Amino acid sequence: MKSLMKIAAICCMSVLFWTCSEDFLETTPQGSLNSQSLADENGINLALISAYSRLDGWASDWGLVDSPWGGSGSNWSFGSLPSDDAHKGSEPTDGPAFTQVEIYQWQPNLPSFNDKFLTIYDGIRRANETIALIDANTDLSDATRDRLMGEAKFLRAHYHMDAWKIWKNVPFIEQDQTDFKEANDQDIFPLIVADFVEAESKLPATQAEVGRVTKGAANAMLGRLYMLNRDFTNAQAALNKVTGYSLNPCFHDMFSIAGENGPEMIFSIQASVGDGVPDAQNANFADRLNFPHAGSPFGCCGFHQPTQNLVNAYRTTADGLPALDNSSDASPTADEPVDPRLDWTVGRDGIDYLGHGDHAPSWIRDRGWSSEYSPKKFVYAPGEGNTISWNPAHLNPINIPIIRYADVLLMQAELDVENGQLEAARIKVNQIRERAGNCAQGVGSNPVALTDASTRANYVVAPYAGPWTDPNAAREAVRLERRLELALEGHRWFDLVRYGTEYYKTTMNTYLDREEQRRPYMRDHNNVEDKNVVFPLPTNAILLSQVDGNPTLQQNPGY
């Protein structure tokens, strides 16, 4: 569905229901879209694809947002930068507002907060316009109506969920609303649940076109939503319905062109290049900063750099279990044992970078300021990239997962721990670790065995021997496995928050105090406080919500 979902011509649907009172303005301009021209099934499908197209956070709208980076569907600037997984990277003068996010100098006027807010609510608008078109059409068959409505309700739930998990106190917008200055004085969680439940009831188990959401995707996202709210009973009920998926044989499969829509992928942002859209805007446009800088084959821009703390998390004992040692200030040597997922996730000096040559010090934009490491998960192999754009080396058609089966399996393992079923949790975690041992980064982009002569590291990973008897140790093992498996996919900060406020504060304050010894700029960090379980609502959103001089949106406490 890549080419179908990524039709730039329908990305600007904001005129869908606009009307004018002057007669001479009521003539429909040639080539424009309105509710009449979208009234049939084909038109509804176009509106639905427009709602899908906002998943990546980009819609050719440099004039709408300051930049697409904060609005990225991968949530790298929300899920990674304020966590222990990633630095902003690049250099001090490039994107300094992202550094403020990283070091907890959160101000409501930071551009990325406003960009994300606009992106999310534009996605909600598109989903609502699709729902209204479906409601108005009397010719659709029941099956077609259900499928289209299920997809539209799923997307509306997803966008609202994204806003809720970032700000919590946000408005829920329905398809029949005409006044959008909605107050944020109610908990929208039940409304998001209702949309996912309705979507699940209407969606098919499979779709003819890859990329369209399914019943499994609705259950998986509903389960994640309940986990974010620490409602373990309902989370388990939803996640237990996620069936028909399996782990890809190799960890790297999900991050390659050949394996991105394999048996593990439940719901992802579909990307494409070479589809006739100018500037390759249907590629990973809002994540294009996250490549090695000048001196590398990519030429820009050095953002989203992995931390030393994350690299250390991949260190293992000689027996292949996590070493739990954050003392080192350097990359592991060739002899030190590491989890093979490290070099599928992080670009390190002396290790082949997916066939583009060895990662080298010259690939880092300002090595003395930020990390010595580069992100690697969503980088393409040679020949899989793009040939057009102002910097074509940035862009590629590798999909970005929103939720995959390993994520679901690890959430189920968390629930097993909370239910006292420690051995069931161990079995699930071991499935993930056993898969991690199936392949490693050698020379080139093709996976090899861990002991292949082309590898440049000592890859050792093993399952946990049983039985697990300590609930606290089991809980920490599951949480660490989530970090190792899902690093740089935009989940870490949200996971830390849902583990509990005290756990989150302790983890992050310990990290910040240690990391400032490695990166002097981080000495300016603020301590993580209770208020930091949510981000501040953007200033512009509050100002624009005013009615008779009084804002309908109220700022989150502490900001």
User: What phi and psi, each to the nearest 5 degrees, are found at residue 467?
Assistant: -90, 160
Question: What was the pLDDT predicted at 288?
Answer: 87
Mean pLDDT computed over every residue of the chain: 91
User: Last residue of a domain, which of 466, 489, 512?
Assistant: 489
User: Last residue of a domain, which of 462, 489, 516?
Assistant: 489
Query: What CATH number corresponds to the domain at position 507?
Result: 1.25.40.390
Number of domains in the chain: 2
Question: What was the pLDDT predicted at 67?
Answer: 73
Residues of the chain with pLDDT under 70: 1-37, 60-66, 387-390
Whether residues 211 and 269 fall in one domain? no
Quick one: angle between helices 41-53 and 142-167, nearest 10?
20
Domain of 435 in residue numbering reads as 245-489
Q: Which amino acid is located at 520 in the chain?
A: P
Q: Residue 306: beta bridge partners?
A: 86
Whether residues 321 and 224 fall in one domain? no
Whether residues 111 and 171 fall in one domain? yes
Whether residues 400 and 320 fall in one domain? yes
Mention every residue, 6+ apart, whose C-beta is less than 8 A from residue 325. 312, 315
In angstroms, the Cα distances linking 189 to 143, 222, 307, 351 are 28, 11, 33, 45
Question: What was the pLDDT predicted at 16?
Answer: 34
Whether residues 165 and 17 fall in one domain? yes
Mention every residue, 6+ apart, whose C-beta is less than 8 A from residue 458. 334, 335, 336, 337, 338
Question: What was the pLDDT predicted at 33?
Answer: 52
Q: Which amino acid is located at 475 in the chain?
A: R
The tens digit of pLDDT for each residue in 168-215 reads: 999 999 999 888 899 999 999 999 999 999 999 999 999 999 999 999
Whether residues 180 and 259 fall in one domain? no
Q: What are the structure tokens assigned to 321, written together? A: 């279990």
Whether residues 292 and 221 fall in one domain? no
Number of C-beta neighbours around residue 286 at 10 A? 27
**Which is it for strands 458-459 and 337-338: parallel, antiparallel or unpaired?**
parallel
Whether residues 162 and 255 fall in one domain? no
Contacts for 514-520: CB closer than 8 Å, 24+ residues apart:
514/309, 514/326, 515/84, 515/307, 515/308, 515/309, 518/308, 518/329, 519/87, 519/369, 519/370, 519/371
User: Last residue of a domain, which of 450, 472, 489?
Assistant: 489
Question: What was the pLDDT predicted at 266?
Answer: 98
Assess contact for 506 and 530: CB atoms under 8 A.
no
Q: What are the structure tokens assigned to 233, written together? A: 């009973």
Whether residues 213 and 249 fall in one domain? no
3-state secondary structure of 192: helix
Whether residues 457 and 469 fall in one domain? yes
Q: Which of 180, 149, 139 is nearest to 48 (CA)?
A: 149
Whether residues 164 and 181 fall in one domain? yes
Assess contact for 2 and 275: CB atoms under 8 A.
yes
Whether residues 383 and 421 fall in one domain? yes
Task: Please tell me the distance from the alpha carbon of residue 528 to that of residue 515, in angstroms, as a whole number.
Answer: 14
Assess contact for 311 and 349: CB atoms under 8 A.
no
H helices of 79-228, in order, are: 96-102, 111-136, 142-167, 189-202, 215-228
Greatest Cα pair distance in the chain: 79
Task: Please tell me the distance from the alpha carbon of residue 175 to that of residue 156, in angstroms, as a whole number.
Answer: 10
